[in-house]
């Protein structure tokens, strides 16, 4: 193998560095060491564009652009190329996207385009926004497919299946992992279900999430299962947080692993003022990046109001900081610092 690596005839493709580094913090250093030891071997890594890890390695960095409209349409055409009634299915999806710019804007990658095509294939009403797109996927896998096919494969109630999936996803995320062995997942559910009489029913739900629902899918060669794409796990975690408002979410805003969950959570709310207030009041300073991402989930006029709330919090932060050091406190300096922050922040968000 070493000889092959030195030959320059081998290419290593390492996907999801931003996911792997959470459980294996040394992975970037190991990749770099490997690249230095085998300079002729080509090493290609990938991570999300929203990740800070995309500049952690001294490699040439390329960013994949979202689908253009023509690329998205080509994907849809390719999906239905050899299927019955392909002309009608393609036309329905394209017309829907043209009529609903909110969903058209987010269906800009293979994952979401695949979801749209799968829903149309099964004659499921097409969603109008990203959250409904993911929710429609869950509806399809958790029983709606059987309704359309007039089949009866599930013994568990849909709400039980959903509750189990959400709790497993939340537990995975808390433990910074994406998969687990079957017996580990059963232990997670046994902890979740306090009533002994219900444990068998919820264990059955785990089995049905694996088959026939295929919410939990094989992830590793040694039998571990998970939710497939990390995005599916994050969506379920956000749903769990929606139903459990007693969970302290401020610590999550300090960790990149949780950023997409918080963005999902914001999109699931009718009003996110409570979320902005909680994170902006954080004594340890929630990431400005995630606060901005959360605010950007809202309509333009609402963004302006939320940004004014955020600015108010930051103004108080500056005043509080100055009052802690009374000997050096100067009101003019405090105001100047605040204005510097105000203009810098608005430059960043393009207000």
Q: What is the rounded distance in angstroms from the CA atom of residue 235 to the CA atom of residue 250?
A: 18
**Residue 144: DSSP 8-state:** I
Q: Please name the residues in contact with 137: beta carbons below 8 A apart, sequence gap of 6 or more.
A: 115, 118, 119, 232
Which residue do the tokens 């800009």 mark? 108
Tell me what the mean pLDDT of segment 1-23 comes to. Answer: 84
Q: In the structure, what pLDDT confidence band is assigned to residue 337 with cuts at 50, 70 and 90?
A: low
Dist CA 189 CA 183 (whole Å): 10
- Find out whether 177 and 23 touch, Cβ atoms under 8 Å: yes
Give residue 290's Cα distance to chain centre. 13
Q: Quick one: average pLDDT of 22-45?
A: 87
Asked if residue 339 has pLDDT above 50, the reply is no
CA distances 156 to 34, 141, 193, 208, 225, Å, are 48, 13, 15, 8, 20
3-state secondary structure of 126: coil
**Alpha-carbon span 124 to 133, nearest angstrom:** 11
Kindly state the tokens that stand for 76.
Answer: 């849809």
At 46 the pLDDT is 85
Distance (Å, rounded) from C-alpha 188 to C-alpha 167? Answer: 8
Residue range(s) of every CATH 1.10.10 domain in the chain: 158-238
**Start-to-end C-alpha separation, the chain:** 54
Band (21; pLDDT cuts 50, 70, 90): confident
For the entire predicted model, the pTM comes to: 0.78
Mind listing the pLDDT tens digit for each residue in 53-89?
Answer: 556 778 888 888 889 999 999 999 999 988 777 789 9
85-137 residue pLDDT tens: 778 999 999 999 999 998 998 899 998 999 999 999 888 899 999 999 999 99
pLDDT tens digits, residue range 288-301? 889 999 999 999 88
DSSP lists the bridge partners of residue 315 as: none
Beta pairing class for 179-180 and 225-226 = antiparallel
- Rounded CA-CA distance 161/205 in Å is 6
Structure tokens at 296: 């950007």
Overall average pLDDT of the 318-323 stretch: 54
Query: Sign of the C-alpha dihedral, residues 205, 210, 213, 216?
Result: positive
Q: Measuring CA to CA, which residue among 161, 115, 110, 120 is closest to residue 134?
A: 115
Query: 3-state DSSP call for residue 337?
Result: helix
The pLDDT, as a whole number, for residue 325 is: 53
Side-chain-side CA neighbours of residue 73 (13 Å): 11
**Residue tagged 């960043």 (tokens):** 348
pLDDT digits (tens, 9 = 90+) for 137-177: 999 899 877 776 677 889 999 999 999 999 999 999 999 99
Which CATH number applies to 158-238? 1.10.10
- Alpha carbon 222 to its chain centroid, in Å, reads 26
């Amino acid at each position: 193998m070493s000889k092959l690596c030195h030959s320059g005839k081998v290419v290593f493709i390492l996907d999801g560095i931003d996911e792997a580094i959470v459980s294996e913090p040394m992975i970037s250093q190991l990749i770099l060491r490997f690249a230095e030891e085998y300079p002729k071997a080509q090493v290609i890594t990938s991570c999300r564009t929203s990740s800070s890890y995309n500049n952690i390695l001294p490699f040439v960095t390329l960013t994949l652009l979202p689908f253009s409209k023509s690329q998205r349409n080509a994907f849809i055409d390719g999906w239905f190329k050899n299927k019955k009634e392909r002309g009608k299915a393609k036309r329905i999806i394209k017309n829907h996207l043209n009529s609903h710019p909110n969903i058209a804007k987010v269906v800009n990658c293979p994952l979401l385009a695949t979801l749209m095509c799968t829903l149309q294939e099964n004659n499921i009403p097409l969603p109008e926004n990203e959250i409904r797109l993911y929710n429609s996927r869950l509806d399809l896998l958790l029983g709606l497919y059987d309704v359309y096919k007039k089949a009866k494969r599930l013994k568990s109630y849909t709400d039980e299946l959903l509750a189990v999936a959400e709790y497993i996803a939340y537990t995975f995320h808390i433990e910074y992992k994406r998969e687990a062995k079957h017996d580990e997942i059963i232990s997670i559910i046994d902890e979740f279900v306090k009533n002994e009489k219900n444990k068998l029913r919820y264990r059955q739900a785990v089995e049905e999430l694996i088959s026939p629902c295929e919410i939990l899918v094989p992830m590793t060669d040694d039998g571990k299962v998970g939710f497939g794409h990390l995005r599916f796990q994050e969506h379920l975690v956000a749903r769990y947080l929606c139903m459990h408002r007693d969970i302290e979410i401020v610590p999550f805003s300090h960790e990149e692993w949780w950023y997409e969950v918080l963005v999902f959570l914001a999109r699931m709310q009718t009003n996110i003022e409570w979320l902005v207030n909680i994170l902006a009041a954080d004594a340890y300073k929630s990431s400005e990046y995630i606060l901005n991402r959360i605010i950007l989930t809202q309509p333009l006029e609402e963004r302006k109001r939320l940004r004014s709330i955020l600015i108010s919090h930051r103004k108080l932060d500056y005043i509080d900081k100055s009052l802690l050091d009374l000997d050096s406190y100067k009101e003019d300096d405090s105001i100047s610092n605040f204005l510097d922050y105000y203009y810098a922040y608005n430059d960043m968000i393009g207000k």
